[in-house]
Structure 1
Amino acid sequence: MKLDVILAADALRAPLTGIGRYTYEVARRLARHEEVARLRYFSMGQWLEDPLAALDSPPSEGAKPVHAPRERATLRTRLATSPLAVRIYCALTPMYFGWRLRGNRQSIYHAPNYIVPPFDGQTVSTVHDLSHILYPQFHPRARVEYLNLTLGPSLARTSHVITVSEAVRQEMIERRLMPPDRITAILEAADAAFRPHTPQMLEPAMQALGLRAGQYCLFVGTVEPRKNVERLIQAYELLPQEMRREWPLVIAGGKGWNSEAIHARMAKAQAEGWLRYVSFVDQRWLPALYAGARLMAYPSLYEGFGLPIVEAMASGTPVLTSNTSCMPEVAGGAARLVNPLDVEDMAQALEECLSNEAWQAEAKVKGLARASGLSWDRCVEETVAVYRQLA
C-alpha cells in the first residue's frame, strides 16, 4: 500500500538547527521513498510547493563563511514574547488549520515539531523533548504557555508519537502523556558530511575561521541557559593557563534567550585570549569545524537527543558530555560523561580529555563506531514503519 503523507514544514527555514535539521533530513528521504506515493507540505495554515528547494540551493558567490543568523519576524517568534498573543493563537488557529486540511482523510499527517492540528486521518507527532515541563525556567514564559496550552490537545489528536530518544519516551510514559504502545523512540543521526577530514580538507575552513586544526576545544549550540555554556566557561577558567592558551575554547552558536550574562562572560574570556566566539558557522564549514577540534565539550543540562554529540563522533572528534537525560544513551559508551552541575568535575575531565593521548585515540575509535550505527536512512525507514502501521 502506497502512502500519502502530509508533512508539517514550519521548521524548514534557514539556518537549519535542531528541529529544522530533523525535518529537513526526514523530508529529503520521504520525497524519494518507494513507499511514499505523495508527499505534501503544510505550514501555518498554508500549502507549500517545495520548501526544500531554497534550502538545497548552493550559496551565492561571495557568501561569507561565518555570519550571525538573521532573525525572521515569523508569527512564532512574535508569539514567544506575548502570552496574550499565545492565548489568542491557540484559540483561533486549530479551527482554521483543520479547515485548510479538510478532505485528506486517506493521508497521514506528520508534525515533526510537536503540534498536530485537527485532522480527519491518521496523525504522527514527533516530540523532541519535554523541557517546557521539566525545566520551564529555560524558556520564555510565553513559549512555555504555548506548549502547555497546545501539547495536551495535540496529543489527544495524535495517533502515534515518535520521540527522538528512549529517554524522552520514558519521560512521556512516566507522565502518562501517551500509552507506551503508541510511542516509538527513533534516534536521529549525523549527516554524511560529518566525517574525519584530512589536513588538506581542513585547511580552507581553518583559514576562513581563523583556527588551527587540532588546537581548540569546541562547543556547538545555541548560547542559552539550558546549554550550560556559563559553567563550561567557568570550568575552562580552572584549567592551567598554558593549556587554555594551547587549546582555546571555541563557542559556535547563535544568541539564544536570556543569554546576556553568558555573553558578558564570553567577552571577558575572549579579551583574555583563551576563548573564541564565532556566533554562527555557515553549513559549508561546520563539518570541518567539528573535525578540526581536539575535543567537543557538550555539557548541556537537558536534551531530547543532542545532535552535536553524534556529529562530533562521526567527525572523529572525541566528546565530553553530560551524564543526564538522553546524553549517555546517545553517546553509547563512547564519550566522557560529567556532572554538568559540578564545575570542578567538568574542569578535571576537560584537562584529562585534552591532555591524555591514549584516551583521545580510544575515544575517536569508539565515537566513529557509535556514529556509524546511527543514520538518517535508518531513522526514516523506522518512521515509514510507523506510517505503515497506521495505514
Structure 2
Amino acid sequence: MLKVILSTDCIKYPLTGIGKYAFELGRKLQDNCEISDLVFLNGLKISHTLPVAAETSKAAEGLKRKLQKSKIVSDIYRMTFPWLKSQAIKNYREYIFHSPNYYIPPGTPNAVSTFHDLSVFHWPEFHPKGRVHLMQKELVKTMKRAKILLTDSDYTRNELAEYFDFDISKIITAPLASSGEFFPRNKADISSVLNRFGLIDKKYLLYTGTIEPRKNVLTLLQAYEMLSSKIKKEYPLVISGYKGWENENLLKLFDKGQREGWLKYLGFTPSHDLPFLFSGAKAFIFPSIYEGFGLPVLEAMASGTPVICSDATSLPEVVGSAALLASPMDVEAFTNFINKVIDDPVCEEEMIRDGFAQAGKFSWQRCADKTIEAYKKALE
C-alpha cells in the first residue's frame, strides 16, 4: 500500500490549469484503493482535507503579485521556503512526495514531480523576470531530486528528456482530462448564467485563459477585427481570464473592442460559471503559442463546442483531428476558420461529433492510474 503527500499550493485563486489538475488528481487519489494514507501539504501545513480554491482574491493579492516580480524577493523565497517545507514533512519520510507544480523541497526521499511545460527555458520572455529567475534555478534542482517525473503530454515528455538529457524511461505521461462539469447543456439550463453576462446561446465565440503573452491573445483580436461588421455584431468575442502580466496594451484593445460592440471582457470568471459559458459558445478559440497540454480545448470539446486552436506544441496531440488548426501567428487563417464555423453547419456538426469522441479518450481516472504507476516506480 502507498502513502502519499500531495502538495496543493497551486489550488488557489485564480485557479489555473495546474490548480485544476492538482484538485482533480487529489479527488481521484482519495478514492484509490492502492493508497493507504493521503495527506495534503498546503504552504507549511499538512492536512487530510483537499483544499478548494477561493473564487475571489484576498486583499493582499496585489502586494503579493508585486513582490513576485522582484528578483530580491524571489531569491529570499528560493533560499528559505523550500527548507521550511522540508521541515514540515520531516516526519513523513516513508511517504511518496508528489509536487504537481514542479517544486520539490530539498532532502525529500521518494519524490515525484509533474512538469507541465518548459516555457521558462524556451520562452522566458513569456514570464515575469522574477518568475523566470526562480523557476529556472528550482527546476534544475527538481530534476536532481526527483526519482520519477510526470508530464501532461508526450510532447512535454520528449521535450523534457531532450532538454535535460534525462532518462526518458523515468518520465511518465499522465494526460489531463476535463471535469464532469463540462458537457452539453440545453438552452434553458444555461440561460440564467448567460443572461447575467449579457450573452445569447450560440451567439458568441469564447476564449478563456490568463491574459499574458504566451496565450497570444493579440492574434485573436486581430483575427476578429478582420471579420465583417455583421459577423462581429452577431457573434461577439467573449474573453474570460485573469489579468496576468504585460497586458496593458491588450487591455486597451479590449476597451476599444467593447466600445465598438464586438468584444466582452469578463475578467476572472468563477469556476462554477465556466461550464455554462463553454456550452453556450458557438466556438472556442485558443491561439496559444506554447502549451504543455491545453486543458481549455479539452473542456470545450467535452462541452460540445467546436475548437479553433493553434497547431503549436502539445495542442495537436490533445485535439487530434477534431479541431481546426492554424499556425499561431496566422491571423488570416483564424479569421477564415471563424467564418467557416459560423457559415458551415455541416462542418460545425462534424467538429462537435469528433470533439466528443476525442474528449472521451481522456479521463481523470486514467491520469490517476498513470500517476500511481509513477509512485510505484519511485519506490523501486
Alignment of 1:126-141 (within 5 A): 126-141=114-129
Match of 1:147, SS state, is helix
2:63 and 2:97 map into 1 onto residues whose CA distance is 22
Query: Partner residue of 2:306?
Result: 318
Q: Give the aligned length.
A: 379
Are residue 234 (structure 1) and residue 215 (structure 2) matched? Answer: no
Name the amino acid aligned to 1:39. Answer: L
Deviations 1:309-329 (Å, cap 9, x if unpaired)?
A: 000000000000001111111
Instruction: Give the equivalent residue in structure 2 for 1:10.
Output: 9
In structure 1, what is the Cα distance between the partners aligned to 2:64 and 2:38? 24
Contact kept? 1:102, 1:119, Cα under 8 Å: no
Conserved? CA contact 1:6–1:108, under 8 Å: yes
Once the 2 structures are TM-superposed, how far is the Cα of residue 171 of structure 1 from its aligned partner?
1.1
The alignment-based identity, stated in percent, is 36
**Cα distance in 1 for residues equivalent to 2:273 and 2:86:** 41
2:115 aligned partner, one-letter code: V
Q: Deviation at 1:353? A: 2.2
Quote the Cα distance in structure 2 between the aligned partners of 1:212 and 1:256.
27
The alpha-carbon distance between structure 1 residues 223 and 366, as it changes in their structure 2 partners (threshold 3 A), is: same
Alignment correspondent of 1:299: 287
Within 5 Å, which residues of 2 pair with 1:145-224? 145-224=133-212
| TM-score, normalised with respect to structure 1 | 0.92
Tell me what 1:59 maps to: none
C-alpha separation in 2, matches of 1:300 and 1:364: 21
Distance 1:218 1:177 in 2: 39
Equivalent in the alignment of 1:60: none
Residue 76 (structure 1) shift: 6.9
For 2:369 and 2:19, how far apart are their aligned partners in 1? Answer: 19
What per-residue deviation string (whole Å, max 9, x for no partner) do you get for residues 20-48 of structure 1? 10110011111121111111111333324
Contact 2:45 2:88 in 1 (8 A): yes
Is the partner of 1:191 in helix, strand or coil?
coil
**Residue 270 of structure 1 aligns with which residue?**
258
AA paired with 1:19?
Answer: I
One of 100, 103, 106 as aligned partner of 1:115: 103
Distance in 1 separating the partners of 2:364 and 2:57: 25
> Is it true that 1:106 corresponds to 2:94 in the alignment?
yes
C-alpha separation in 2, matches of 1:301 and 1:20: 21
After superposition, the Cα gap between the structure-2 partners of 1:68 and 1:105, relative to the gap in structure 1 and judged at 3 Å, is closer
The one-letter code matched in structure 2 to 1:150 is: E
Which 5+ residue runs of structure 2 have no aligned equivalent?
Answer: none
TM-score, normalization: structure 2? 0.95
Structure-2 separation of matches of 1:330 and 1:278: 26
Root mean square deviation, CA, Å: 1.9
Structure 1: any 5+ residue segments left out of the alignment? 57-66
Residue from 314, 323, 345 that aligns with 1:335: 323
Q: Of residues 198, 219, 237 in structure 2, which corresponds to 1:249?
A: 237
> More displaced, 26-35 or 212-221?
26-35
Inter-partner Cα distance in structure 2 for 1:75 and 1:26: 30
- Contact 2:177–2:364 (CA<8 Å) still a contact in 1? yes
